[in-house]
Amino acid sequence: MRRAIILAGGEGTRLRPYTTVLPKPLMPIADRPVLDIVVRQLKSAGFERITMATGHLAELIETYFGDGSQYGIAIDYHRESEPLGTAGALSVIEGVGDQDVLVMNGDTLTDIDYSEFFEAHLEGDAVATIATTRREIQVSLGVPRCENGDPTRLTSYTEKPVLNYDASMGIYCFSPRALAFMTVGERLDFPQLVLRLIAENEVVRTWRSDNYWLDIGRHEDYEQALEEFERYRERLLPAE
């Protein structure tokens, strides 16, 4: 059974005041919450069970999605009594250590092929696989570079360079072995877990996607999602 864990318990402090009355995953994108889109995508990708890790305003999420019968997928919940960070909940959610699972943030707007990503993880040798996307930053200033031995002597000067980097999409796959490096109930974030796995010489891999992706955690990102949703609607929403 394909299982996904959706992290939906954060307080969404960067999106206040909206998130004082709504949990971030229930923020509306056009005519539906972003988490509604995610659930429909996972169902379409062949996932059969979703566990939502809830916390802030948990009752609203649990009331909205219920047992998942309206979506044709089983949905259950793990409500955190105290925040355990972005990864800590994995150590206490029942059954996570029994199979490979997909884990993702509940505020991610993307048309990534979750099935393709999950299969790539299963077929590989990694204890953890991180979905990434290419991003660039335009530096608005001139950037001088100096010699290593003489920090005052310039060797080059670049006006407003563009920096390229791979960014985590907030979507991961973990094998059961990953839980062996976690202590039950400890507060732990994903960067800490990944670095811990690397330090123990475990294989961690990335899977780059060129798909549409947006994290709606900030006001400007949420506004961008509102502007772009109709343009990408057919790609983001599976046919019903």
Q: What's the CATH code of the domain at 184?
A: 3.90.550.10
User: Looking at the domain assignment, is residue 127 inside a domain?
Assistant: yes
Position 116, amino acid: E
Could you give the CA distance from residue 24 to residue 114 in angstroms, rounded to a whole number? 21
Question: For residues 69 and 21, is the Cβ–Cβ distance under 8 A?
Answer: no
User: Looking at the domain assignment, is residue 232 inside a domain?
Assistant: yes
- pLDDT per residue of the chain (240 residues) written in tens, 0 to 9: 899 999 987 665 665 665 566 778 888 888 889 999 999 999 999 999 999 998 778 899 999 999 999 999 999 999 887 777 878 888 888 888 889 999 999 889 899 999 999 999 999 999 999 999 998 888 888 888 887 777 788 888 888 888 888 999 999 999 999 988 988 878 889 999 999 999 999 999 999 999 999 877 778 777 787 888 888 888 887 866
Residue-range definition of the domain harbouring residue 230:
3-133+166-236
Is it true that the peptide bond before 17 is cis, omega within 30 degrees of 0?
Answer: yes
User: Looking at the domain assignment, is residue 160 inside a domain?
Assistant: no
Number of domains observed in the structure of the chain:
1
User: Looking at the domain assignment, is residue 142 inside a domain?
Assistant: no
